[in-house]
């Protein structure tokens, strides 16, 4: 019945024939609205002798039960969620190598400082030679291969450095440097720098 009514409205919307006038614009708009949005009755459809709600309403309610239950669980989980414990720790990695002592046959050395920076002083004469013995400690938990080296501010002093050596964990290593002062050395302060790298 609705489809037949729709066709009747569509035929009424045809433009008028020449000489019969032009339909007002608002009348065409009203007729289009009648076609696209037919007025429905607000009275609910009921079958004779049937007093309960339509069956499709019951089906929609059943489909909504599962989403409602899931939403309730999510809300409950959010309210009763435990607060996470976060611990931020900053670790400082220290240098395991450290100076212990400086001795030798070259001269009596007087040293100040500990750990990574040490300054030593001593007196020598032209033509003198001997050794400088430096002890290095390893406070780490693993063995370390240590490579010694040196520099001299005076060309009149020559040094022979020892070979690299492995210092065991929690152990010490002894490094012997052979030092020789030229007989023609000019009296003046000279700086010797001994380094130990890993």
Domain count, the chain: 2
Q: Cα–Cα distance between 193 and 106 in angstroms, integer?
A: 15
What percentage of residues in the chain have a pLDDT greater than 90? 52
Is 187 found in the same domain as 123? yes
pLDDT at 29 over 50: no
Residue 178 lies in a domain: yes
Q: What is the pLDDT of residues 134-185, one digit of tens each?
A: 999 999 999 999 999 999 999 999 999 899 999 999 999 999 999 999 999 9
pLDDT at 13 over 60: no
Confidence at 40, pLDDT banded by 50, 70, 90: low
Q: Which domain holds residue 9?
A: 1-43
Confidence at 33, pLDDT banded by 50, 70, 90: very low
Is 101 found in the same domain as 39? no
- Residue 70: per-residue pLDDT: 67
Kindly compute the dihedral angle of the four CA atoms of residues 158, 162, 167, 172, in this order, to the nearest 10 degrees. -50
Residue 106 backbone zone (phi > 0: left; psi -120 to 50: alpha; other: beta): alpha
- Residue 41: per-residue pLDDT: 53
Q: Cα–Cα distance between 176 and 155 in angstroms, integer?
A: 20
Is 37 found in the same domain as 111? no
Residue 10 lies in a domain: yes
Q: What is the pLDDT of residues 79-124, one digit of tens each?
A: 556 788 999 999 999 999 999 999 999 998 899 988 888 999 999 9
Confidence at 126, pLDDT banded by 50, 70, 90: very high
Residue 121 lies in a domain: yes
Residue 109 lies in a domain: yes
Which stretches of 37-134 are DSSP H helices? 55-79
pLDDT at 64 over 90: no
Count of beta carbons in the 10 Å neighbourhood of residue 8: 9
Q: What angle do CA 10, 12, 18 make, to 5 degrees?
A: 125
Which stretches of 14-124 are DSSP H helices? 25-36, 55-79
Q: Cα–Cα distance between 160 and 179 in angstroms, integer?
A: 7
SS3 (DSSP) at 49: coil
Is 111 found in the same domain as 34? no
19 or 9, which is more confident? 19
Q: Which residues on neighbouring strands pair with residue 138, listed in sequence order? A: 97
């Amino acid at each position: 019945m609705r489809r037949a009514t729709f066709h009747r409205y569509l035929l009424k919307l045809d433009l008028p024939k020449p000489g019969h006038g032009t339909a007002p614009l608002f009348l065409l708009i009203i007729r289009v609205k009648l076609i696209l949005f037919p007025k429905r009755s607000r009275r609910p459809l009921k079958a004779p002798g049937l007093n309960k709600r339509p069956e499709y309403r019951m089906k929609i309610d059943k489909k909504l039960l599962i989403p409602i239950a899931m939403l309730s669980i999510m809300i409950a989980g959010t309210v009763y969620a435990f607060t996470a414990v976060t611990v931020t720790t900053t670790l400082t990695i220290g240098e395991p190598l450290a100076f212990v002592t400086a001795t030798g046959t070259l001269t009596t050395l007087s040293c100040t400082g500990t750990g990574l920076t040490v300054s030593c002083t001593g007196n020598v004469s032209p033509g003198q030679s001997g050794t400088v013995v430096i002890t290095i400690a390893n406070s780490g938990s693993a063995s370390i291969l240590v490579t010694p080296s040196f520099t001299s501010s005076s060309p009149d002093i020559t040094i022979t450095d020892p070979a690299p050596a492995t210092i065991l964990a929690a152990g010490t290593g002894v490094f012997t440097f052979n030092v020789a002062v030229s007989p023609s050395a000019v009296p003046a302060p000279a700086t010797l720098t001994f380094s130990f790298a890993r």
